[in-house]
Copies of this chain bind each other. A is one copy, B any other.
Amino acid sequence: MPARLLEGHPVAEEILRDVREQIRTSATQTPLTVAVLLGDDAAARSYARAIRKTMAPLGIEVRTVPLDDSMHEERFREIVTQLNRQADITGILALQPLPPGLPRSLPALSIAPEKDVDGITPVNAGRLLLGLPAIAPSTPAGAMELLRYYGIPVSGRRAVIVGRSPVVGRPLVSLLLAADATVTVCHRKTSDLADVTRTAELLFVAAGSPALIKPDMVRPGTVVIDFGVNAVGEHLVGDVDPAVAEVASAITPVPGGTGPVTNAILARNLLTLAKLQRS
Protein backbone atom coordinates (compact mmCIF):
# COMPACT_ATOMS: atom_id res chain seq x y z
CA MET A 1 0.00 0.00 0.00
CA PRO A 2 1.57 3.28 -1.04
CA ALA A 3 2.19 5.88 1.65
CA ARG A 4 -0.17 8.70 2.52
CA LEU A 5 1.10 11.92 0.90
CA LEU A 6 1.77 14.71 3.38
CA GLU A 7 1.03 17.70 1.13
CA GLY A 8 2.40 20.99 2.39
CA HIS A 9 -0.13 23.35 0.81
CA PRO A 10 -3.08 22.77 3.16
CA VAL A 11 -0.75 23.15 6.16
CA ALA A 12 0.66 26.39 4.76
CA GLU A 13 -2.84 27.69 4.04
CA GLU A 14 -3.95 27.03 7.60
CA ILE A 15 -0.94 28.88 9.01
CA LEU A 16 -1.30 31.78 6.56
CA ARG A 17 -5.02 32.11 7.33
CA ASP A 18 -4.13 32.59 10.97
CA VAL A 19 -1.34 35.07 10.17
CA ARG A 20 -3.67 37.07 7.86
CA GLU A 21 -6.33 37.21 10.57
CA GLN A 22 -3.84 38.44 13.16
CA ILE A 23 -2.48 41.08 10.79
CA ARG A 24 -6.04 42.20 9.94
CA THR A 25 -7.07 42.62 13.57
CA SER A 26 -3.98 44.71 14.29
CA ALA A 27 -4.69 46.91 11.23
CA THR A 28 -3.73 50.20 12.85
CA GLN A 29 -0.13 49.02 13.32
CA THR A 30 2.67 49.73 10.87
CA PRO A 31 2.93 47.27 7.97
CA LEU A 32 5.37 44.36 8.16
CA THR A 33 8.51 44.44 6.01
CA VAL A 34 11.08 41.74 5.44
CA ALA A 35 14.49 42.56 3.94
CA VAL A 36 15.74 39.72 1.73
CA LEU A 37 19.49 39.77 1.04
CA LEU A 38 20.10 38.08 -2.27
CA GLY A 39 23.27 37.21 -4.18
CA ASP A 40 23.57 36.45 -7.88
CA ASP A 41 22.21 32.89 -7.77
CA ALA A 42 19.31 31.33 -9.67
CA ALA A 43 18.07 29.12 -6.81
CA ALA A 44 18.16 32.04 -4.37
CA ARG A 45 16.24 34.24 -6.84
CA SER A 46 13.62 31.54 -7.28
CA TYR A 47 13.29 31.25 -3.48
CA ALA A 48 12.95 35.05 -3.21
CA ARG A 49 10.08 34.94 -5.75
CA ALA A 50 8.34 32.24 -3.71
CA ILE A 51 8.69 34.35 -0.57
CA ARG A 52 7.20 37.37 -2.35
CA LYS A 53 4.30 35.23 -3.56
CA THR A 54 3.59 34.14 0.02
CA MET A 55 4.00 37.58 1.59
CA ALA A 56 2.24 39.82 -0.96
CA PRO A 57 -1.35 38.60 -0.26
CA LEU A 58 -0.72 39.29 3.44
CA GLY A 59 0.27 42.89 2.75
CA ILE A 60 3.85 42.15 3.82
CA GLU A 61 6.45 44.14 1.95
CA VAL A 62 9.46 42.20 0.64
CA ARG A 63 12.43 44.53 0.16
CA THR A 64 15.13 42.85 -1.88
CA VAL A 65 18.70 43.86 -1.09
CA PRO A 66 21.03 42.73 -3.89
CA LEU A 67 24.51 41.52 -2.91
CA ASP A 68 27.10 41.76 -5.65
CA ASP A 69 29.64 39.02 -6.21
CA SER A 70 32.65 41.17 -5.35
CA MET A 71 31.23 42.10 -1.95
CA HIS A 72 33.53 41.96 1.08
CA GLU A 73 32.62 40.84 4.58
CA GLU A 74 32.87 44.38 5.93
CA ARG A 75 30.33 45.71 3.43
CA PHE A 76 27.92 42.88 4.24
CA ARG A 77 28.16 43.74 7.94
CA GLU A 78 27.51 47.42 7.21
CA ILE A 79 24.36 46.59 5.22
CA VAL A 80 23.03 44.32 7.96
CA THR A 81 23.90 46.77 10.74
CA GLN A 82 21.93 49.43 8.89
CA LEU A 83 18.93 47.10 8.49
CA ASN A 84 19.18 46.09 12.16
CA ARG A 85 18.73 49.78 13.06
CA GLN A 86 15.96 50.67 10.59
CA ALA A 87 12.64 50.87 12.44
CA ASP A 88 10.65 50.11 9.26
CA ILE A 89 12.34 46.71 8.79
CA THR A 90 10.63 43.94 10.77
CA GLY A 91 12.84 41.02 9.80
CA ILE A 92 15.99 40.18 7.84
CA LEU A 93 16.61 37.09 5.74
CA ALA A 94 19.92 36.36 3.95
CA LEU A 95 19.48 33.72 1.28
CA GLN A 96 22.22 31.15 0.73
CA PRO A 97 24.48 30.93 -1.19
CA LEU A 98 26.09 34.25 -0.23
CA PRO A 99 28.49 35.93 -2.69
CA PRO A 100 31.71 33.89 -2.99
CA GLY A 101 34.25 34.56 -0.26
CA LEU A 102 31.70 35.44 2.40
CA PRO A 103 31.63 32.94 5.29
CA ARG A 104 28.39 30.98 5.48
CA SER A 105 27.99 31.92 9.15
CA LEU A 106 28.15 35.67 8.47
CA PRO A 107 24.36 36.30 8.59
CA ALA A 108 24.04 34.38 11.87
CA LEU A 109 26.75 36.60 13.35
CA SER A 110 25.47 39.95 12.04
CA ILE A 111 21.65 39.89 12.03
CA ALA A 112 20.16 41.23 15.29
CA PRO A 113 18.30 38.47 17.20
CA GLU A 114 15.18 40.67 17.32
CA LYS A 115 15.12 40.81 13.49
CA ASP A 116 16.15 37.19 12.97
CA VAL A 117 13.11 35.99 10.98
CA ASP A 118 14.61 32.56 10.23
CA GLY A 119 16.00 31.82 13.69
CA ILE A 120 19.60 31.48 12.50
CA THR A 121 21.37 33.55 15.17
CA PRO A 122 23.19 31.89 18.08
CA VAL A 123 20.80 33.50 20.57
CA ASN A 124 17.76 31.97 18.90
CA ALA A 125 19.47 28.62 18.32
CA GLY A 126 20.52 28.53 21.98
CA ARG A 127 17.12 29.56 23.31
CA LEU A 128 15.51 26.84 21.19
CA LEU A 129 17.98 24.20 22.40
CA LEU A 130 17.52 25.21 26.04
CA GLY A 131 13.73 25.12 25.77
CA LEU A 132 13.27 28.89 26.11
CA PRO A 133 10.92 30.98 23.90
CA ALA A 134 12.64 31.46 20.52
CA ILE A 135 12.23 32.13 16.83
CA ALA A 136 12.67 28.69 15.25
CA PRO A 137 14.20 28.21 11.78
CA SER A 138 11.37 28.00 9.27
CA THR A 139 12.24 24.69 7.58
CA PRO A 140 12.39 22.43 10.65
CA ALA A 141 9.54 24.35 12.33
CA GLY A 142 7.49 23.68 9.18
CA ALA A 143 8.11 19.95 9.53
CA MET A 144 6.73 20.03 13.06
CA GLU A 145 3.62 21.82 11.73
CA LEU A 146 3.20 19.14 9.03
CA LEU A 147 3.22 16.42 11.69
CA ARG A 148 0.75 18.35 13.85
CA TYR A 149 -1.60 19.04 10.92
CA TYR A 150 -1.72 15.38 9.85
CA GLY A 151 -2.19 14.16 13.43
CA ILE A 152 1.11 12.25 13.58
CA PRO A 153 2.25 11.82 17.20
CA VAL A 154 5.83 12.65 18.13
CA SER A 155 6.07 12.21 21.92
CA GLY A 156 7.98 9.10 22.96
CA ARG A 157 8.67 8.05 19.37
CA ARG A 158 12.02 7.30 17.72
CA ALA A 159 13.00 10.19 15.43
CA VAL A 160 16.05 9.96 13.17
CA ILE A 161 17.48 13.03 11.43
CA VAL A 162 19.84 12.56 8.47
CA GLY A 163 21.93 15.72 8.12
CA ARG A 164 23.28 18.14 10.72
CA SER A 165 23.14 21.51 8.95
CA PRO A 166 22.76 24.66 11.07
CA VAL A 167 19.42 25.49 9.37
CA VAL A 168 17.67 22.10 9.41
CA GLY A 169 19.26 19.16 11.22
CA ARG A 170 20.60 20.89 14.32
CA PRO A 171 17.55 23.04 15.16
CA LEU A 172 15.34 20.02 14.43
CA VAL A 173 17.08 18.24 17.33
CA SER A 174 15.88 21.06 19.61
CA LEU A 175 12.31 20.98 18.25
CA LEU A 176 12.01 17.19 18.46
CA LEU A 177 13.43 17.10 22.00
CA ALA A 178 10.92 19.77 23.01
CA ALA A 179 8.21 17.51 21.56
CA ASP A 180 9.50 14.56 23.66
CA ALA A 181 10.81 12.42 20.81
CA THR A 182 13.86 10.19 21.26
CA VAL A 183 16.19 11.85 18.76
CA THR A 184 19.11 10.50 16.72
CA VAL A 185 21.25 12.60 14.36
CA CYS A 186 23.18 10.97 11.50
CA HIS A 187 25.55 12.58 9.02
CA ARG A 188 28.25 11.78 6.51
CA LYS A 189 30.52 10.36 9.23
CA THR A 190 27.85 7.88 10.34
CA SER A 191 29.29 4.48 9.48
CA ASP A 192 26.10 2.41 9.46
CA LEU A 193 23.48 4.80 8.08
CA ALA A 194 20.92 2.14 7.08
CA ASP A 195 21.16 0.49 10.51
CA VAL A 196 20.29 3.81 12.09
CA THR A 197 17.56 4.93 9.67
CA ARG A 198 15.82 1.55 10.12
CA THR A 199 15.29 2.37 13.80
CA ALA A 200 13.21 5.44 12.87
CA GLU A 201 9.48 5.75 13.40
CA LEU A 202 9.85 9.33 12.15
CA LEU A 203 12.59 9.86 9.56
CA PHE A 204 13.73 13.40 8.63
CA VAL A 205 16.11 13.73 5.71
CA ALA A 206 18.07 16.92 5.01
CA ALA A 207 21.27 15.60 3.53
CA GLY A 208 21.33 17.46 0.21
CA SER A 209 21.96 14.18 -1.62
CA PRO A 210 19.47 13.08 -4.31
CA ALA A 211 17.59 9.85 -3.50
CA LEU A 212 20.03 8.98 -0.70
CA ILE A 213 17.40 7.07 1.28
CA LYS A 214 16.37 3.79 -0.41
CA PRO A 215 13.43 1.54 0.50
CA ASP A 216 15.63 -1.00 2.30
CA MET A 217 16.79 1.77 4.66
CA VAL A 218 13.27 2.39 5.98
CA ARG A 219 11.25 0.23 8.35
CA PRO A 220 7.69 -0.43 7.06
CA GLY A 221 5.26 2.09 8.51
CA THR A 222 7.77 4.88 9.04
CA VAL A 223 6.73 8.50 8.52
CA VAL A 224 9.23 10.16 6.16
CA ILE A 225 9.84 13.92 5.94
CA ASP A 226 12.01 14.86 2.97
CA PHE A 227 13.67 18.30 3.06
CA GLY A 228 15.74 17.63 -0.07
CA VAL A 229 15.40 19.88 -3.10
CA ASN A 230 17.91 18.71 -5.69
CA ALA A 231 17.85 19.74 -9.34
CA VAL A 232 18.51 16.63 -11.41
CA GLY A 233 18.30 17.50 -15.10
CA GLU A 234 15.03 19.40 -15.42
CA HIS A 235 13.45 17.76 -12.38
CA LEU A 236 13.44 18.51 -8.68
CA VAL A 237 14.08 15.41 -6.61
CA GLY A 238 14.26 14.93 -2.87
CA ASP A 239 16.80 13.21 -0.65
CA VAL A 240 14.45 10.20 -0.50
CA ASP A 241 14.05 7.71 -3.35
CA PRO A 242 10.38 7.85 -4.53
CA ALA A 243 10.24 4.06 -4.14
CA VAL A 244 10.33 4.61 -0.34
CA ALA A 245 6.62 5.52 -0.69
CA GLU A 246 5.95 1.77 -1.06
CA VAL A 247 7.37 1.15 2.43
CA ALA A 248 6.57 4.30 4.42
CA SER A 249 3.17 4.91 5.99
CA ALA A 250 3.34 8.59 5.09
CA ILE A 251 5.76 10.74 3.10
CA THR A 252 6.14 14.35 1.96
CA PRO A 253 6.15 14.88 -1.82
CA VAL A 254 8.99 16.82 -3.52
CA PRO A 255 8.11 19.47 -4.52
CA GLY A 256 4.98 20.40 -2.55
CA GLY A 257 5.89 18.90 0.83
CA THR A 258 8.04 20.79 3.31
CA GLY A 259 8.70 23.77 0.98
CA PRO A 260 5.31 25.53 1.10
CA VAL A 261 5.16 25.22 4.90
CA THR A 262 8.62 26.82 5.24
CA ASN A 263 7.40 30.06 3.66
CA ALA A 264 4.27 30.15 5.79
CA ILE A 265 6.41 29.82 8.92
CA LEU A 266 8.56 32.72 7.71
CA ALA A 267 5.42 34.89 7.61
CA ARG A 268 4.42 33.72 11.07
CA ASN A 269 7.92 34.37 12.44
CA LEU A 270 7.78 37.88 10.98
CA LEU A 271 4.53 38.52 12.85
CA THR A 272 6.12 37.22 16.06
CA LEU A 273 9.08 39.59 15.58
CA ALA A 274 6.69 42.51 15.02
CA LYS A 275 4.90 41.74 18.30
CA LEU A 276 8.21 41.48 20.17
CA GLN A 277 9.38 44.78 18.69
CA ARG A 278 6.16 46.53 19.74
CA SER A 279 6.20 45.20 23.31
Contact = CB atoms under 8 A, between A and B. Distances in A.
A272 interface: no
A39 B148 CA distance: 42
Given A125-B129, A127-B126, A182 B190 contact: yes
Interface in A151-173: 155-158, 164, 166, 170-171, 173
A230 interface: no
Contacts of A105: 130, 132
Interface residues of A, number: 41
A184 B122 CA distance: 22
Contact of A156 (B180, B181, B191): B191
A98 interface: no
A186 interface: yes
Interface string A107-127: 011000000000001111111
Kindly report how many copies of this chain are found in the complex they form together. Answer: 2
A187 interface: yes
Contacts of A170: 129-130, 174, 177
Contacts of A183: 184-185
A158 B192 CA distance: 9
B187 A184 contact: no
A10 interface: no
A75 interface: no
A196 interface: yes
Interface of A: 105, 108-109, 121-132, 134, 155-158, 164, 166, 170-171, 173-174, 177, 180-187, 189-192, 196, 199
